[in-house]
Structure 1
């Protein structure tokens, strides 16, 4: 039996970020953290989920990938990597109000080509099918 974790499609709340000194630390997914990577920690979204994070103060947004669990501080909904925090321009504040939205990866960015298949006429022949005289000749040879 498979269970699916249900999360709200959008969340609004406070975001913090990892220190630059956290570079090299292992995340809950087993990956090593790098301060320039666009990753985050979220409590419930599965590892690998891509999230669009929008800073409400300035409208800047960034897409991050969930690689860690947290934040476990009250009132916080996401911990961003230093690079993601820099892209959202929240390094000076330390904490910012953001909106999180799951990025839908199932959207196909192109229209598949329309194939033209050849038409075949599979009509029935009006001429009777048979071996006729050739069959009789073959029958005589075999009986010899």
Structure 2
């Protein structure tokens, strides 16, 4: 009985830790040549959509990306796999990079956290990828 309670407590603490986990690292954005090409989820990339590429999050996951230098945030949808360079953790669409002001730098440090469905519903409509094009 004690072992079961300990395991449940450990599982609960472990799962709560993951829900608030953040990734820190460098981000970049898609270049102009990617515009119109297919992404891993089958849709076509459009530079004005708020999408991203991430190695491990499932396709369709909403992520909040924050620029710690200016505290600007954007919510993006994972539609592709990548980036394929070791020192990067996320590739953003041009619109998402512009929204958090990293376009002029090319590569910039960011913080990434997963957005739950309830949080996305309360977010402002202009910060979610509503105008994705397929």
Task: Give the shorter-chain TM-score range.
Answer: 0.7 to 0.9
1:79 partnered with 2:79: no
- 1:108 and 1:27 map into 2 onto residues whose CA distance is 23
Considering Cα pairs closer than 8 Å and 6+ residues apart, tell me whether 1 or 2 has the greater RCO. Answer: 2
User: Unaligned regions of 5+ residues in structure 2, if any?
Assistant: 1-17, 123-134
TM-score normalised to the size of structure 2?
0.72
Q: 2:30 aligns with which of 13, 18, 21?
A: 18
- 1:61 and 1:108 map into 2 onto residues whose CA distance is 13
Cα distance change of structure 1 residues 67 and 8 upon mapping to structure 2, 3 Å threshold: farther
Secondary structure, counterpart of 2:116 in structure 1: coil
What per-residue deviation string (whole Å, max 9, x for no partner) do you get for residues 48-70 of structure 1?
00000000111100000000000
Aligned residues: 105
User: Unaligned regions of 5+ residues in structure 1, if any?
Assistant: 1-5, 111-144
Structure number with the higher helix fraction is 2
Do the aligned residues in 1 keep the contact of 2:29 with 2:106 (CA within 8 Å)?
Answer: yes
Structure 1 position 28, deviation (Å): 1.0
Question: Greater shift after overlay, 8-17 or 38-47?
Answer: 8-17
Which one has a bigger Cα radius of gyration?
Answer: 1
Cα distance change of structure 1 residues 10 and 31 upon mapping to structure 2, 3 Å threshold: same
